Protein backbone atom coordinates (compact mmCIF):
# COMPACT_ATOMS: atom_id res chain seq x y z
CA UNK A 1 0.00 0.00 0.00
CA UNK A 2 1.41 3.35 -1.01
CA UNK A 3 0.76 6.77 0.51
CA UNK A 4 -2.08 7.62 -1.89
CA UNK A 5 -3.90 4.37 -1.07
CA UNK A 6 -3.57 5.08 2.66
CA UNK A 7 -5.06 8.56 2.17
CA UNK A 8 -7.94 7.09 0.19
CA UNK A 9 -8.70 4.66 3.02
CA UNK A 10 -8.53 7.45 5.57
CA UNK A 11 -10.92 9.53 3.48
CA UNK A 12 -13.36 6.62 3.44
CA UNK A 13 -13.05 6.36 7.23
CA UNK A 14 -13.73 10.09 7.55
CA UNK A 15 -16.78 9.64 5.36
CA UNK A 16 -18.06 6.81 7.51
CA UNK A 17 -17.38 8.80 10.67
CA UNK A 18 -19.48 11.72 9.35
CA UNK A 19 -22.31 9.32 8.56
CA UNK A 20 -21.95 7.75 12.01
CA UNK A 21 -22.13 11.21 13.56
CA UNK A 22 -25.37 11.94 11.71
CA UNK A 23 -26.82 8.57 12.72
CA UNK A 24 -25.76 9.05 16.35
CA UNK A 25 -27.45 12.46 16.42
CA UNK A 26 -30.59 10.88 15.00
CA UNK A 27 -30.32 8.16 17.66
CA UNK A 28 -29.98 10.78 20.44
CA UNK A 29 -33.10 12.56 19.13
CA UNK A 30 -34.96 9.28 19.60
CA UNK A 31 -33.36 8.78 23.03
CA UNK A 32 -34.73 12.22 23.98
CA UNK A 33 -38.22 11.09 23.02
CA UNK A 34 -37.81 7.98 25.15
CA UNK A 35 -36.64 10.16 28.07
CA UNK A 36 -39.76 12.33 27.72
CA UNK A 37 -41.95 9.21 27.81
CA UNK A 38 -40.20 7.95 30.94
CA UNK A 39 -40.56 11.36 32.55
CA UNK A 40 -44.30 11.42 31.95
CA UNK A 41 -44.84 7.83 33.07
CA UNK A 42 -42.36 7.75 36.00
CA UNK A 43 -40.55 4.85 34.33
CA UNK A 44 -37.06 3.68 35.29
CA UNK A 45 -34.13 4.82 33.14
CA UNK A 46 -32.52 1.39 33.10
CA UNK A 47 -34.38 -1.30 31.14
CA UNK A 48 -32.03 -4.28 31.30
CA UNK A 49 -34.18 -6.44 29.02
CA UNK A 50 -34.30 -3.78 26.33
CA UNK A 51 -30.55 -3.11 26.60
CA UNK A 52 -29.75 -6.80 26.20
CA UNK A 53 -31.94 -7.05 23.10
CA UNK A 54 -30.25 -4.04 21.50
CA UNK A 55 -26.79 -5.56 21.95
CA UNK A 56 -27.96 -8.95 20.66
CA UNK A 57 -29.57 -7.31 17.62
CA UNK A 58 -26.37 -5.40 16.79
CA UNK A 59 -24.12 -8.44 17.17
CA UNK A 60 -26.40 -10.61 15.02
CA UNK A 61 -25.42 -8.50 11.99
CA UNK A 62 -21.65 -8.76 12.57
CA UNK A 63 -20.26 -11.03 9.86
CA UNK A 64 -16.61 -11.03 10.96
CA UNK A 65 -16.27 -12.70 14.39
CA UNK A 66 -12.94 -10.93 14.94
CA UNK A 67 -14.87 -7.67 15.35
CA UNK A 68 -17.56 -8.97 17.75
CA UNK A 69 -16.02 -7.93 21.08
CA UNK A 70 -14.96 -4.50 19.79
CA UNK A 71 -18.38 -3.73 18.35
CA UNK A 72 -20.05 -4.98 21.52
CA UNK A 73 -17.86 -2.66 23.60
CA UNK A 74 -18.62 0.31 21.31
CA UNK A 75 -22.38 -0.22 21.53
CA UNK A 76 -22.25 -0.76 25.28
CA UNK A 77 -20.51 2.63 25.50
CA UNK A 78 -23.26 4.16 23.35
CA UNK A 79 -25.93 2.61 25.60
CA UNK A 80 -24.22 3.87 28.77
CA UNK A 81 -23.99 7.40 27.37
CA UNK A 82 -27.63 7.28 26.29
CA UNK A 83 -28.66 6.38 29.85
CA UNK A 84 -26.55 9.22 31.24
CA UNK A 85 -28.12 11.66 28.79
CA UNK A 86 -31.59 10.50 29.84
CA UNK A 87 -30.71 11.03 33.50
CA UNK A 88 -29.54 14.58 32.85
CA UNK A 89 -32.61 15.33 30.78
CA UNK A 90 -34.99 13.92 33.38
CA UNK A 91 -33.57 15.92 36.28
CA UNK A 92 -33.46 19.28 34.52
CA UNK A 93 -34.81 21.88 36.92
CA UNK A 94 -38.56 22.13 36.84
CA UNK A 95 -39.00 19.02 34.73
CA UNK A 96 -38.51 16.07 37.03
CA UNK A 97 -37.92 15.20 40.67
CA UNK A 98 -36.08 12.00 41.47
CA UNK A 99 -36.33 11.06 45.15
CA UNK A 100 -35.66 7.97 47.25
CA UNK A 101 -36.21 6.41 50.68
CA UNK A 102 -33.19 4.71 52.26
CA UNK A 103 -33.62 2.05 54.92
CA UNK A 104 -33.00 -1.53 55.89
CA UNK A 105 -36.46 -3.06 55.37
CA UNK A 106 -38.92 -1.07 53.28
CA UNK A 107 -41.39 -3.55 51.77
CA UNK A 108 -44.33 -2.16 53.79
CA UNK A 109 -43.55 1.53 53.26
CA UNK A 110 -46.36 3.71 51.88
CA UNK A 111 -44.01 6.66 51.29
CA UNK A 112 -44.03 6.22 47.47
CA UNK A 113 -47.83 6.41 47.59
CA UNK A 114 -47.76 9.61 49.70
CA UNK A 115 -45.22 11.36 47.48
CA UNK A 116 -47.02 10.20 44.35
CA UNK A 117 -50.18 11.83 45.68
CA UNK A 118 -48.21 14.99 46.36
CA UNK A 119 -46.74 15.08 42.84
CA UNK A 120 -50.24 14.79 41.39
CA UNK A 121 -51.72 17.54 43.58
CA UNK A 122 -48.76 19.89 43.10
CA UNK A 123 -48.60 19.22 39.34
CA UNK A 124 -44.97 18.09 39.61
CA UNK A 125 -43.50 15.27 37.55
CA UNK A 126 -41.31 12.96 39.57
CA UNK A 127 -40.62 9.54 41.02
CA UNK A 128 -40.06 8.31 44.56
CA UNK A 129 -38.14 5.05 44.93
CA UNK A 130 -37.40 2.62 47.74
CA UNK A 131 -33.80 1.49 48.21
CA UNK A 132 -32.85 -1.03 50.87
CA UNK A 133 -29.21 -0.57 51.85
CA UNK A 134 -26.80 -2.17 54.30
CA UNK A 135 -24.51 -0.40 56.77
CA UNK A 136 -21.55 -1.08 54.49
CA UNK A 137 -23.21 0.92 51.69
CA UNK A 138 -23.89 4.06 53.76
CA UNK A 139 -20.46 5.75 53.30
CA UNK A 140 -20.83 5.85 49.49
CA UNK A 141 -24.60 6.03 49.05
CA UNK A 142 -24.90 9.82 48.75
CA UNK A 143 -22.34 10.05 45.95
CA UNK A 144 -24.05 7.16 44.19
CA UNK A 145 -27.44 8.86 44.47
CA UNK A 146 -26.04 12.16 43.20
CA UNK A 147 -24.49 10.40 40.19
CA UNK A 148 -27.80 8.67 39.47
CA UNK A 149 -29.62 12.00 39.36
CA UNK A 150 -31.41 11.97 42.72
CA UNK A 151 -32.11 15.39 44.20
CA UNK A 152 -33.43 14.30 47.58
CA UNK A 153 -33.64 11.37 49.97
CA UNK A 154 -35.51 10.30 53.06
CA UNK A 155 -33.78 8.10 55.63
CA UNK A 156 -35.48 5.69 58.00
CA UNK A 157 -34.37 3.15 60.61
CA UNK A 158 -31.70 2.18 61.31
CA UNK A 159 -29.65 4.89 59.50
CA UNK A 160 -31.03 8.21 60.79
CA UNK A 161 -27.95 8.80 62.94
CA UNK A 162 -25.33 6.79 61.05
CA UNK A 163 -25.68 8.77 57.80
CA UNK A 164 -25.11 12.12 59.55
CA UNK A 165 -21.32 11.72 59.47
CA UNK A 166 -21.38 11.70 55.66
CA UNK A 167 -23.36 14.96 55.24
CA UNK A 168 -21.83 18.32 54.35
CA UNK A 169 -24.30 20.30 56.45
CA UNK A 170 -26.96 19.56 59.08
CA UNK A 171 -29.81 21.83 60.12
CA UNK A 172 -29.76 23.17 63.72
CA UNK A 173 -32.97 21.27 64.57
CA UNK A 174 -31.56 17.98 63.29
CA UNK A 175 -28.28 18.56 65.15
CA UNK A 176 -30.16 19.11 68.38
CA UNK A 177 -32.28 16.00 67.86
CA UNK A 178 -29.25 13.95 66.86
CA UNK A 179 -30.94 12.32 63.88
CA UNK A 180 -31.97 13.19 60.32
CA UNK A 181 -34.65 11.79 58.06
CA UNK A 182 -34.41 14.10 55.03
CA UNK A 183 -31.49 15.00 52.77
CA UNK A 184 -31.30 17.62 50.05
CA UNK A 185 -28.82 16.41 47.44
CA UNK A 186 -26.93 18.94 45.35
CA UNK A 187 -23.37 20.21 45.28
CA UNK A 188 -23.65 19.74 49.04
CA UNK A 189 -25.73 17.19 50.91
CA UNK A 190 -27.71 18.79 53.75
CA UNK A 191 -29.60 16.86 56.43
CA UNK A 192 -32.88 17.81 58.12
CA UNK A 193 -35.35 16.26 60.55
CA UNK A 194 -38.97 16.59 59.43
CA UNK A 195 -40.29 14.15 62.06
CA UNK A 196 -40.17 17.17 64.38
CA UNK A 197 -42.49 19.19 62.13
CA UNK A 198 -44.67 16.21 61.25
CA UNK A 199 -45.34 15.50 64.91
CA UNK A 200 -46.16 19.15 65.57
CA UNK A 201 -48.52 19.44 62.61
CA UNK A 202 -50.27 16.24 63.71
CA UNK A 203 -50.92 17.68 67.18
CA UNK A 204 -52.26 20.88 65.60
CA UNK A 205 -54.54 18.90 63.28
CA UNK A 206 -56.07 17.02 66.19
CA UNK A 207 -56.38 20.16 68.30
CA UNK A 208 -53.83 19.24 70.96
CA UNK A 209 -51.97 22.17 72.55
CA UNK A 210 -48.77 21.59 74.50
CA UNK A 211 -48.01 24.77 76.42
CA UNK A 212 -48.26 24.14 80.15
CA UNK A 213 -49.23 20.48 79.70
CA UNK A 214 -47.87 17.32 81.34
CA UNK A 215 -46.54 14.91 78.74
CA UNK A 216 -45.33 11.30 78.81
CA UNK A 217 -43.30 9.76 76.00
CA UNK A 218 -43.22 5.96 75.84
CA UNK A 219 -39.80 4.89 74.58
CA UNK A 220 -36.36 6.47 74.51
CA UNK A 221 -35.18 5.35 71.06
CA UNK A 222 -34.59 7.37 67.92
CA UNK A 223 -38.26 8.20 67.35
CA UNK A 224 -38.56 9.87 70.75
CA UNK A 225 -35.86 12.47 70.07
CA UNK A 226 -37.85 14.63 67.67
CA UNK A 227 -40.97 14.30 69.81
CA UNK A 228 -39.22 15.39 73.00
CA UNK A 229 -37.58 18.34 71.23
CA UNK A 230 -40.93 19.54 69.90
CA UNK A 231 -42.64 19.21 73.30
CA UNK A 232 -39.83 21.20 74.93
CA UNK A 233 -40.01 23.93 72.30
CA UNK A 234 -43.77 24.25 72.72
CA UNK A 235 -43.50 24.90 76.44
CA UNK A 236 -44.68 21.63 77.98
CA UNK A 237 -44.86 21.92 81.77
CA UNK A 238 -43.20 18.54 82.21
CA UNK A 239 -42.00 15.62 80.09
CA UNK A 240 -41.29 12.13 81.39
CA UNK A 241 -39.63 9.29 79.50
CA UNK A 242 -41.27 5.92 80.10
CA UNK A 243 -38.98 3.05 79.20
CA UNK A 244 -37.72 -0.43 80.05
CA UNK A 245 -34.12 0.80 80.32
CA UNK A 246 -34.12 3.88 82.54
CA UNK A 247 -30.33 3.94 82.85
CA UNK A 248 -29.83 4.26 79.10
CA UNK A 249 -32.68 6.76 78.89
CA UNK A 250 -31.18 8.90 81.68
CA UNK A 251 -27.91 9.11 79.75
CA UNK A 252 -29.77 10.24 76.65
CA UNK A 253 -32.13 12.61 78.53
CA UNK A 254 -30.22 13.69 81.67
CA UNK A 255 -32.54 16.68 82.19
CA UNK A 256 -35.76 14.62 82.17
CA UNK A 257 -37.36 12.23 84.60
CA UNK A 258 -37.20 8.61 83.41
CA UNK A 259 -39.80 6.14 84.73
CA UNK A 260 -39.68 2.33 84.46
CA UNK A 261 -42.55 1.29 82.19
CA UNK A 262 -43.94 -1.20 84.70
CA UNK A 263 -44.45 1.58 87.29
CA UNK A 264 -46.00 4.14 84.94
CA UNK A 265 -49.54 5.46 85.32
CA UNK A 266 -51.03 7.91 82.81
CA UNK A 267 -53.31 9.42 85.44
CA UNK A 268 -52.93 13.20 85.34
CA UNK A 269 -50.97 13.33 82.06
CA UNK A 270 -52.45 15.55 79.35
CA UNK A 271 -50.65 13.73 76.54
CA UNK A 272 -49.24 10.21 76.21
CA UNK A 273 -47.20 9.48 73.07
CA UNK A 274 -46.15 5.99 72.05
CA UNK A 275 -42.75 6.36 70.36
CA UNK A 276 -41.98 2.63 70.50
CA UNK A 277 -42.62 0.05 67.75
CA UNK A 278 -44.69 -2.06 70.17
CA UNK A 279 -48.00 -2.88 68.51
CA UNK A 280 -46.77 -2.32 64.96
CA UNK A 281 -47.50 -4.81 62.19
CA UNK A 282 -47.04 -7.78 62.27
CA UNK A 283 -47.08 -7.95 66.11
CA UNK A 284 -50.42 -6.20 66.39
CA UNK A 285 -51.51 -7.90 69.61
CA UNK A 286 -49.03 -6.04 71.81
CA UNK A 287 -49.24 -2.76 73.72
CA UNK A 288 -46.39 -0.90 75.48
CA UNK A 289 -48.61 -0.41 78.56
CA UNK A 290 -51.75 -2.03 79.96
CA UNK A 291 -55.27 -0.66 79.80
CA UNK A 292 -55.13 0.04 83.54
CA UNK A 293 -51.93 2.05 83.14
CA UNK A 294 -53.55 4.20 80.45
CA UNK A 295 -56.45 5.30 82.67
CA UNK A 296 -56.61 9.05 83.25
CA UNK A 297 -54.71 10.21 80.15
CA UNK A 298 -56.01 13.33 78.42
CA UNK A 299 -55.00 12.39 74.85
CA UNK A 300 -53.14 9.40 73.37
CA UNK A 301 -51.03 9.57 70.22
CA UNK A 302 -49.48 6.42 68.78
CA UNK A 303 -46.94 7.22 66.05
CA UNK A 304 -47.62 3.77 64.53
CA UNK A 305 -49.89 3.90 61.47
CA UNK A 306 -49.95 0.18 60.58
CA UNK A 307 -52.30 -1.05 61.92
CA UNK A 308 -54.43 2.08 62.05
CA UNK A 309 -55.93 0.85 65.34
CA UNK A 310 -53.22 -0.48 67.64
CA UNK A 311 -54.03 -2.27 70.86
CA UNK A 312 -52.98 0.87 72.76
CA UNK A 313 -55.54 2.91 70.80
CA UNK A 314 -58.18 0.25 71.40
CA UNK A 315 -57.55 0.72 75.11
CA UNK A 316 -57.93 4.49 74.67
CA UNK A 317 -61.24 4.08 72.84
CA UNK A 318 -62.59 1.71 75.50
CA UNK A 319 -61.60 4.24 78.18
CA UNK A 320 -63.17 7.15 76.31
CA UNK A 321 -59.81 8.91 75.80
CA UNK A 322 -59.34 10.95 72.57
CA UNK A 323 -56.61 9.45 70.39
CA UNK A 324 -54.82 9.52 67.03
CA UNK A 325 -52.49 7.17 65.17
CA UNK A 326 -49.33 8.10 63.29
CA UNK A 327 -50.76 8.47 59.79
CA UNK A 328 -51.12 12.25 59.82
CA UNK A 329 -47.59 12.60 61.26
CA UNK A 330 -46.26 10.39 58.45
CA UNK A 331 -47.96 12.48 55.77
CA UNK A 332 -46.99 15.79 57.39
CA UNK A 333 -43.31 14.87 57.71
CA UNK A 334 -43.32 13.79 54.04
CA UNK A 335 -44.80 17.12 52.93
CA UNK A 336 -42.29 18.96 55.15
CA UNK A 337 -39.56 17.10 53.26
CA UNK A 338 -41.10 18.20 49.97
CA UNK A 339 -41.00 21.81 51.18
CA UNK A 340 -37.25 21.40 51.62
CA UNK A 341 -36.77 19.79 48.20
CA UNK A 342 -39.08 22.22 46.39
CA UNK A 343 -37.76 25.28 48.25
CA UNK A 344 -41.21 26.66 49.03
CA UNK A 345 -44.11 26.38 51.49
CA UNK A 346 -46.88 23.94 50.60
CA UNK A 347 -50.55 24.59 51.29
CA UNK A 348 -51.73 22.72 54.39
CA UNK A 349 -54.78 21.48 52.52
CA UNK A 350 -52.53 19.23 50.41
CA UNK A 351 -51.41 17.44 53.59
CA UNK A 352 -55.00 17.22 54.81
CA UNK A 353 -56.34 15.85 51.53
CA UNK A 354 -53.62 13.18 51.26
CA UNK A 355 -54.29 12.17 54.86
CA UNK A 356 -58.04 11.87 54.26
CA UNK A 357 -57.53 9.78 51.11
CA UNK A 358 -55.07 7.44 52.80
CA UNK A 359 -57.24 7.14 55.91
CA UNK A 360 -60.08 5.84 53.76
CA UNK A 361 -57.79 3.34 52.04
CA UNK A 362 -55.90 1.94 55.04
Residues with Cβ within 8 Å of residue 113, at least 6 apart in sequence: 358
Q: Rounded distance, CA 31 to CA 38, Å?
A: 10
Residues ≥6 apart with Cβ < 8 Å to 171: 180, 190, 191, 192, 193
Nearest to residue 190, comparing CAs of 224, 227, 149, 155?
155
Catalytic residue list contains 291 = no
State in Å, rounded, how far the first CA of the chain is from the last one.
78
3-class DSSP assignment, residue 259: strand
**Catalytic choice (160, 184, 201, 213):** 160
- State the Cα angle at 195 between 182 and 121, rounded to 5°: 70
CA dist., res. 45 & res. 39, Å (int) = 9
For residue 270, give Cα distances in angstroms to 208, 218, 239, 295, 320: 9, 14, 10, 11, 14
Q: Residue 312 to residues 1, 154, 330: CA-CA distances in angstroms?
A: 90, 28, 18
Which residues touch 139 (CB under 8 Å, ≥6 apart)? Answer: 166
Pairing type for strands 214-218 and 271-274 reads parallel
Task: Give me the active site residues, please.
Answer: 160
Amino acid sequence: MDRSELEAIRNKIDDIDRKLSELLQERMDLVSQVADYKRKNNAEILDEGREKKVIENVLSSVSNPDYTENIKAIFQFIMDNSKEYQRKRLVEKGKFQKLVLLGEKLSHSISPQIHGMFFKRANIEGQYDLREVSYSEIPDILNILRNEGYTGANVTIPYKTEIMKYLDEISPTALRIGAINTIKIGEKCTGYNTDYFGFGKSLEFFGVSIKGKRCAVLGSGGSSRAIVSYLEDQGAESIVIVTRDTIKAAIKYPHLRCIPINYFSAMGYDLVVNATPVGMYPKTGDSPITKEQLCGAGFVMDIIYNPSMTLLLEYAEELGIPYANGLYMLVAQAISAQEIWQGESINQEITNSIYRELKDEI
